[in-house]
């Protein structure tokens, strides 16, 4: 099958780039002596998760209990829910899951630890639990520098039905870019990466001194992995990384300096459905891909909603064209001069945020250039809880 046979809009995955991205991150993990546990919220596909495991990943990460259920049903045996799971119904589902896969999850409150303990004790299981840490992002987690994570780790270690596994954080602040005048993108990424690593190791040392040494110290976002190098203090070191977006990359990663366009494996194939000239001499054209595919997410340092490509084989951007607006079914493109397309032409777009795009689809297409290799199902697309 050729790309010309596909209905648009369609999400495409360049097979060679997906494979290369998987291998590149696995090599980083191996060189630093850490387990790679990729976050599958990026692709939500059993097929792609198994590619990552075959390349050397030691388990997977998910965000929802429903996603864990999908991957466990597919035979994946080690699943970490990197989320503060709260709710008796969800804990009961985790207890049931633990009978077919090794499943772990996070807490960041005494309430969640005690209530989960009661559910698991009644179910007759012991579930590995990680204390989620705020190492600088400011979202969920016990603050890394205080006593709260030590108290919580001790509580988890003591409660029946729970098994203290370690600590986990997400350096979402690695997406913020430079934070001071004169700071470069590279310096900002290095700072975020070093802070994530050093703060978690520091906490690991304090936990060890308190008698609750973490078997797992888990970090990682795709940007903070760009310059990651592991270190050790005594017996304490980073043991696990959990990047997700790296399997595809996107405009956010390109603009942050994490990846080049040639590393971007995901594109949206769209058709030009309308073209008009404006009074000021510029032209505007419209794609059949709007918010429902490209999403309304913005990229770091970008005014548009994705990068149009002039040549998708070598990833050359379309000059001057900007996707400057979206409605549900339309992408609005403005070109200061004359457009290089006509109504009926097909174009490729690198999305701003690859993860969200995948969650809009039931199926995507694995491609090799203009050839469609295989249709891949998005198995966890509807696993929202």
User: Which pLDDT value is given to residue 76?
Assistant: 98
Residues 6+ apart with CB under 8 A from 279: none
Q: In whole angstroms, give the CA distance from residue 208 to residue 203.
A: 9
- Same domain? For 321 and 206 the reply is no
Mean per-residue pLDDT, 181-189 = 96
Residue 383 in this model has a pLDDT that exceeds 80:
no
pLDDT of residue 6: 98
**Residue 20 pLDDT > 80, yes or no?**
yes
Taking the alpha carbons of 230, 231, 235, 237 in that order, is the dihedral positive or negative?
negative
- The torsion angle over the Cα atoms of residues 202, 224, 42 and 321, rounded to 10 degrees, is 160
Nearest Cα to Cα of residue 219 among 252, 256, 192: 192
Please give the average per-residue pLDDT across 128-156, as a whole number: 97
In a domain, 312, yes or no: yes
For the chain, percent of residues with pLDDT exceeding 70: 100
Whether residue 229 sits in one domain with residue 137: yes
Average pLDDT value for residue range 259-287? 94
In terms of domains, do 242 and 322 share one? no
Q: Which residue has the higher pLDDT, 166 or 303?
A: 166
Give the pLDDT confidence of 231-261 residue by residue, as tens digits: 999 999 999 999 999 999 999 999 999 999 9
Q: Is it the case that residue 298 has pLDDT exceeding 80?
A: yes
The average confidence (pLDDT) of the chain is 96
Q: How many domains does the chain have?
A: 2
Question: Mind listing the pLDDT tens digit for each residue in 123-139?
Answer: 999 999 999 999 999 99
Same domain, 181 and 73: yes
- 15 lies in some domain: no
pLDDT at 303: 83
Last residue of a domain, one of 247, 271, 297: 247
For residues 342 and 234, membership in a common domain is answered with no
**CATH number of the domain bearing residue 286:** 2.40.37.20
Rounded to 5°, the CA angle 23-29-31 comes to 100
> Parallel, antiparallel, or unpaired for β 346-350 and 307-311?
antiparallel
**pLDDT of 263 strictly over 80:** yes
Question: Is 23 a domain residue?
Answer: no
Whether 127 is covered by a domain: the verdict is yes
| Residues 56 and 205 reside in one and the same domain | yes
DSSP label of 239: -
Indicate which CATH number applies to the domain containing 183.
3.20.20.10
* CB burial readout 119-128, b (16+ within 10 A) else e: bbeebebbbb
Q: Is residue 74 in a domain?
A: yes
Residue 20 falls inside a structural domain: no
Q: Is the pLDDT of residue 75 over 80?
A: yes
Of 197, 220, 247, the domain-final residue:
247
Q: Is residue 240 part of a domain?
A: yes
pLDDT of residue 145: 97
Q: What pLDDT is attached to residue 109?
A: 98
Angle formed by the axes of helices 185-209 and 148-158, to 10°?
Answer: 50
Q: How much is the average pLDDT of 282-299?
A: 95
In sequence order, the 6+-apart residues with CB closer than 8 A to the CB of 212 are: 150, 153, 154, 157, 164
Residues 355 and 270 in one domain: yes
- Specify whether the CB–CB gap between 370 and 3 falls below 8 A: yes
Q: Is the pLDDT of residue 278 over 90?
A: no
- At residue 338, the pLDDT reads 81
Q: Do 195 and 271 belong together in one domain?
A: no
Helix, strand, coil share (%) of the chain residues, nearest 5? 35, 25, 40
Cα–Cα distances (Å) from 163 to 37, 63, 96, 142, in that order, read: 20, 20, 16, 18
Strand partners, 6: none
State yes or no: pLDDT of 384 exceeds 90: no
Final residue belonging to a domain, choices 223, 247, 271: 247
Domain assignment present for residue 384? The answer is no
Claim to verify: residue 236 and residue 280 sit in the same structural domain: no
Residues 225 and 203 in one domain: yes
Average the pLDDT over 51-73 and give the result: 98
Domain containing 328 equals 3-7+260-377
**Model confidence at 84: pLDDT above 80:** yes
pLDDT tens digits along 326-366:
999 999 999 998 888 999 999 999 999 999 999 999 999 99
Q: Are residues 138 and 216 in the same domain?
A: yes
For residues 178 and 213, membership in a common domain is answered with yes
190 in Cβ contact with 183 (< 8 Å): no
Is a pLDDT exceeding 80 seen at residue 382? no
Provide, rounded to the nearest whole percent, the portion of the chain with pLDDT above 90: 94
């Amino acid at each position: 099958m050729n790309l010309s046979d596909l209905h648009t809009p369609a999400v495409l995955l360049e097979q060679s780039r997906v494979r290369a991205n998987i291998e590149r991150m696995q090599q980083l993990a191996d060189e630093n002596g850490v387990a790679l546990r990729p976050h599958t919220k990026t692709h939500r596909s059993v097929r792609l998760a198994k590619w990552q495991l075959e390349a050397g990943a030691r388990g997977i990460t998910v965000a929802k209990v429903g996603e864990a259920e999908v991957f466990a049903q597919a035979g994946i045996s080690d699943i970490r829910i990197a989320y503060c799971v709260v709710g008796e119904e969800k804990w009961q589902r985790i207890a049931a899951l633990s009978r077919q896969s090794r499943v772990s999850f996070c807490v960041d409150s005494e309430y969640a630890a005690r209530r989960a303990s009661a559910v698991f004790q009644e179910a007759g299981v012991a579930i590995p639990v990680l204390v989620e840490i705020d190492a600088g992002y400011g979202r969920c987690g016990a603050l890394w520098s205080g006593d709260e994570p030590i108290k919580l780790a001790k509580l988890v270690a003591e409660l029946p039905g729970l098994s203290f596994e370690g600590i986990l954080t997400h350096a979402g602040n690695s997406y913020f870019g430079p934070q001071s005048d004169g700071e470069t993108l590279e310096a900002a990424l290095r700072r975020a990466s070093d802070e994530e690593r050093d703060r978690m190791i520091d906490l690991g040392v304090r936990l060890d001194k308190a008698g609750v040494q973490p078997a797992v110290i888990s970090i990682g976002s795709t940007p903070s992995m760009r310059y990651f190098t592991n270190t050790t203090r005594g017996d304490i070191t980073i043991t696990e990384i959990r990047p997700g977006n790296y399997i595809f990359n996107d405009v956010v990663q390109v603009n942050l300096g994490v990846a080049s366009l040639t590393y971007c494996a995901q594109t949206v194939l769209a058709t030009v459905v309308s073209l008009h000239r404006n009074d000021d001499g510029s032209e505007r054209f419209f794609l059949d891909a709007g918010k429902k595919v490209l999403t309304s997410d913005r990229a770091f340092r970008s005014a548009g909603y994705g990068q149009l490509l002039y040549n998708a084989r070598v990833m050359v951007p379309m000059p001057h064209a900007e996707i400057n607006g979206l409605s549900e079914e339309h992408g609005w493109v403005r070109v200061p001069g004359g457009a290089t397309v006509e109504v009926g032409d097909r174009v490729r777009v690198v999305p701003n945020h690859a993860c969200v795009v995948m969650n809009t689809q039931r199926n995507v297409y694995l491609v090799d250039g203009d050839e469609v290799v295989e249709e891949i199902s998005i198995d966890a697309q509807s696993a929202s809880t």
